[in-house]
Amino acid sequence: MRVQLKPIEQQVVAVVGASSGIGRETALRFARRGAKVVVAARSEPGLQSLVREIARGGGEATAVVADVADFAQVEAIADRAVAAYGRLDSWVHLAAVALYATVEQTTPEEYRRVIDVNLLGQIYGAKAALPRLRRAGRGALIHVSSVEARRAFPLHSAYAAAKHGVDGFVEALRVELRHEGVPINVAQIMPASINTPLFSKARTKMGRKPLGIPPIYQPAIVADAILYAAEHPVRDLVVGGAGQQLLLAQRLSPRLLDPLLARFGFAAQQTDEPKSEDDPNNLVGPVPQYDRVEGDFGDRARPRSYATWLEMHPAGRWAAAGAAAVAGAALAARATRHRAPARLP
DSSP letters spanning 212-247 = PPSSEE-HHHHHHHHHHHHHS--SEEEESHHHHHHH
pLDDT per residue rounded down to tens, the chain (345 residues): 688 999 999 999 999 999 999 999 999 999 999 999 999 999 999 999 999 999 999 999 999 999 999 999 999 999 999 999 999 999 999 999 999 999 999 999 999 999 999 999 999 999 999 999 999 999 999 999 999 999 999 999 999 999 999 999 999 999 999 999 999 999 999 999 999 999 999 999 999 999 999 999 999 999 999 999 999 999 999 999 999 999 999 999 999 999 999 999 999 999 999 999 999 999 999 998 899 999 999 999 999 998 999 989 876 555 554 544 555 555 555 656 656 555 544
Q: Quick check: is 322 in a domain?
A: no
Q: Quick check: is 324 in a domain?
A: no
Q: Quick check: is 343 in a domain?
A: no
pLDDT reported for residue 344: 46
Q: Where are the alpha helices (DSSP H) in the chain?
A: 21-32, 44-56, 71-85, 108-115, 121-136, 157-180, 198-201, 219-231, 241-252, 254-264, 306-312, 314-339
Q: Quick check: is 326 in a domain?
A: no
Nearest partner of 25 among 185, 149, 162, 195, judged by Cα? 195
pLDDT reported for residue 333: 57
Nearest partner of 122 among 94, 81, 85, judged by Cα? 94
pLDDT reported for residue 249: 95
Nearest partner of 97 among 151, 31, 39, 43, judged by Cα? 43
- State how many domains the chain has: 1
In sequence order, what are the residues at sequence separation of 6 or more whose Cβ sits closer than 8 angstroms to the Cβ of residue 339? none
Q: Is the dihedral of CA 270, 272, 275, 281 positive or negative?
A: negative
* CATH code: domain of residue 180: 3.40.50.720
Q: Quick check: is 316 in a domain?
A: no
The strand pairing partners of 210, in sequence order, are 270
User: Model pTM?
Assistant: 0.90
Q: Quick check: is 222 in a domain?
A: yes
Question: Among residues 124, 159, 228, 290, which one is catalytic?
Answer: 159
Distances (CA, A) of 21 to 220, 238, 319: 9, 17, 33
DSSP per-residue codes, 141-170: EEEE--GGGTS--TTBHHHHHHHHHHHHHH
pLDDT reported for residue 345: 46
Domain limits for position 277: 8-304
In sequence order, what are the residues at sequence separation of 6 or more whose Cβ sits closer than 8 angstroms to the Cβ of residue 129? 14, 78, 88, 91, 139, 141
Active site (annotated) includes residue 228: no
Q: Quick check: is 319 in a domain?
A: no
C-alpha span between 307 and 240 (Å, rounded): 7
pLDDT reported for residue 338: 59
Q: Quick check: is 77 in a domain?
A: yes
Q: What is the DSSP letter of 266?
A: T
